[in-house]
Structure 1
Amino acid sequence: MSIPGRLVAVLASATALAGLCGCTVQPPDAEGKHGLPVHIRLPSSRGPGPARPPSDPPAASAPAASSVPPSASSVPPSAPAPRVLWSRGDSGPGVRELQARLRQVDWLFDGPTGSYDDLTERAVSGFQGKRGLPRTGRTDMVTWQRLLAMTRPPGKWELYLMGGQPADAPDPRCLTGRVLCISKTTRTLRWMVDGRTVSTVAVRFGTESTPTREGVFHVYWKSRHHVSTLYHSPMPYAMFFSGGQAVHYSYDFAARGYAGGSHGCVNVRDEAAIARLFDEVGVGDKVVVHW
């Protein structure tokens, strides 16, 4: 084949290849020195990527993990508040033990009375604050467990330091007539009429050096505003039953409880109760002091 004929064949082949690849062929004026096109674009060895419409917005980047708020289901529930055992206004043996234990650690100086009053509330609040607990003044399970770990079980007299101990069964000698039935075991005085208990009060007795006599006596004298001629101490609502020994109100018993003692008399710390008793008991009524 002549040179012009071969040139025509080459150009025909290039034109066919360009049609298959979508490329363009430069016009004849851009030929090389051999008359071949110099800007033939060949297809890439990599396949074309997926097409994206020009109008699509750029994909938004995902927010950082720390900026995503946790869902309600993923937040752990807060610990429940400890159960409250006793609070102001409550009463009973549990409160009495609480007060006795607070006395052991010097957070309470009155009582025990068995009633959760303002003094008990302040003592509990102080105990809580000292140990880093919420100062609620209410005795919850956490506060109670901490107090138990620091104290010992209170004894009988610690629980009833200010009186209030349940009375025992009345002495058989108290079951007839009008009787002041006085128990040294439970430190209580029952006012009884024909075997029925009308009222009960806490009492205190004489010390070891001046003990209260035991036995059956009778009220022989009453003195509402009595003052002891021997000790020069007031003895309001005195009801004498054996020599100089009497049932009467005691300011010292009201203030100090069983930390003190009498010179043989039967002390009452509840002034309102002894005032009523003074009006009801008559000269000649029986007095029984027993264990």
Structure 2
Amino acid sequence: MHIELPGSKTPSAPSSKAGSHGEPSASPSTTGPAVLWSRGDSSDGVRELQARLRQVDWLFDGPTGTYDDLTENAVKGFQGKRGLPKTGRTDTVTWQRLLKMTHEPGTWELYLMGGQPAGPADPRCLTGRVLCIDKTTRTLRWMIDGQTVSTMSVRFGATGTPTREGVFDVYWKSRHHWSTLYDSPMPYAMFFSGGQAVHYSYDFAARGYAGGSHGCVNVRDEAAISDLYGQVRNGDKVVVYR
């Protein structure tokens, strides 16, 4: 999806501000360039913005399609480097500058670098209470009797410390866990295989997919994993697959 602005080869942007539904478009402004997207917007246009910001190394997360704090900070950095007002909002001037520096993102860049939609659930996830964890789409789905209750983005172990694949059970929950091995916090930890657990990661929230874990399944959305932690019980199944 593209938006053509003056001098651009992409389709023309409509005249109303982007919303959380449908296609994003520019809003009129009496004080400066029209704003195309800003924090809180969700659309395919935001996903393309994020993919292009990745190309110039200002964003290492997603694309997710949601204009979050990481996207806002990336836009501020991009703007500041080029002498533009550091608003964190993507206006027509910022977008034009970014278009000139980047190429049209393909499907891989838009969806397969993380933040993409969940694929079909593994058959082992379709019965009972299951943390269904897909390494290919980097998603965790909380499922009950084949129905998806919630979905969240996750990341996995680095090359030397891969997240184990297979079928496991949650055997221990630890709300304020601290790893003595790595001297790091593991809040909302739900252990399923030795020292490997699903847990919230401050590093994932800050750096996105630029980092990796020591084998655990990292969640970046604290509100989502807080809610999940309250629902999951010891003995619930965990399926990790690709």
Q: TM-score, normalised by structure 2?
A: 0.73
- Highest Rg: 1 or 2? 1
Change in Cα spacing, 1:109 to 1:258, as seen in structure 2 (3 Å) is closer
State the one-letter code of the partner of 2:150. Answer: S
Q: CA deviation at 1:90?
A: 2.9
Of residues 267, 282, 286, the one that matches 2:218 is 267
Of residues 34, 37, 41, the one that matches 1:87 is 37
Question: Distance between the aligned counterparts of 1:280 and 1:115, measured in 2?
Answer: 26
RMSD, aligned CA: 3.3
Report sequence identity in percent.
Answer: 73
Of residues 122, 128, 134, the one that matches 1:183 is 134
* Mapped contact 1:123–1:137 kept (Cα < 8 A): no
Q: TM-score, normalised by structure 1?
A: 0.61
Q: CA deviation at 1:96?
A: 1.4
1:208 is matched with: 159
Change in Cα spacing, 1:194 to 1:137, as seen in structure 2 (3 Å) is closer
* Mapped contact 1:174–1:181 kept (Cα < 8 A): yes
Q: CA deviation at 1:153?
A: 3.6
1:152 is matched with: 103
Which secondary structure state, in structure 1, belongs to the residue aligned with residue 53 of structure 2? helix
Q: In the alignment, is residue 227 of structure 1 matched against residue 173 of structure 2?
A: no
1:172 is matched with: 123
Q: CA deviation at 1:94?
A: 1.7
- Bigger proportion of residues as strand: 2
Q: CA deviation at 1:146?
A: 5.3
Q: CA deviation at 1:215?
A: 0.5
- Bigger proportion of residues as helix: 1
Compare relative contact order (CA 8 Å, sep 6+) and give the higher one, 1 or 2. 2
Q: CA deviation at 1:114?
A: 2.2
Question: Distance between the aligned counterparts of 1:244 and 1:168, measured in 2?
Answer: 27
* Mapped contact 1:161–1:258 kept (Cα < 8 A): no
Q: CA deviation at 1:220?
A: 0.6
Task: Give per-residue Cα distances to partners, 1:80-100, cap 9 Å, x unaligned.
Answer: x97445332531222111122
Structure 1, unpaired ranges of 5+: 1-78
Which secondary structure state, in structure 1, belongs to the residue aligned with residue 167 of structure 2? strand
* Mapped contact 2:161–2:214 kept (Cα < 8 A): yes
1:193 is matched with: 144
Change in Cα spacing, 1:232 to 1:165, as seen in structure 2 (3 Å) is same
Query: How many corresponding residue pairs?
Result: 208
